Amino acid sequence: MAGDSQLAHKLLDGLKGIEIGGGAHNAFHLDTINVDKYKGMSRFKEEEVKACGSFMPVDVVSEGDDLPFEDKSYDFVISSHVIEHFPDPIKAIKEWHRVARKYIFMIVPHRDRTFDRNRELTPLQEFIDRHEGKIPLPEGDDHHSVWNLQSFLEMCNYFGFKVYTTEDPDTKVGNGFTVVLEI
């Protein structure tokens, strides 16, 4: 099981947030509601049970890039090892930006520290083309995007997301990096 993130607690304690795809094996212990696209036992929930014997209940069933919340209705959105599953991660981050008042806190798998190590980094132009509908979006729930910290920051810079702080490696799971966007 993952440890706690001191950075998450430093920034997010006392605030109310949304966790996208939260898992019991990787709990942040923050004041959040858990949003997941699956209510029942998906392959991800099965892996959670294998890892720690239980799963985090889903509070709201919704696609993580089309949330049923009003603009600026929560202080933050947090996700760990989730953004790579979105066919259009820019759409997801823009949606999180819409509902968050203060921060978007993401732990992203680092290509060199995960099973993606033999894959090429996803080029910035591919993110642009996916987001603009110039190429078909990948299908399924696999890792659609591969980053290291530098390539993720390049993407954030291009799309105008304001980076508040980063950690590399992340201090929660250790096989990714943390990027906190400021609203």
Catalogue all structural domains in the chain, each as residue range(s) with its CATH number.
6-182 (3.40.50.150)
- Burial class (CB within 10 angstroms; exposed 0-12, middle 13-18, buried 19+) of 71: exposed
Q: List the beta strands (DSSP E) in 110-169.
A: 163-167
Residue 91 has pLDDT above 90, yes or no: yes
36-63 pLDDT, tens digit per residue, is: 999 888 888 888 888 888 889 999 999 9
Alpha-carbon span 75 to 27, nearest angstrom: 18
**Residue of 50, 44, 16, 10 lying closest to 30 (CA atoms):** 16
Distance CA 98, CA 167 (A): 24
Give the mean pLDDT of the chain.
95
pLDDT in tens, 100-152: 999 999 999 999 999 999 999 999 999 999 999 999 999 999 999 999 999 99
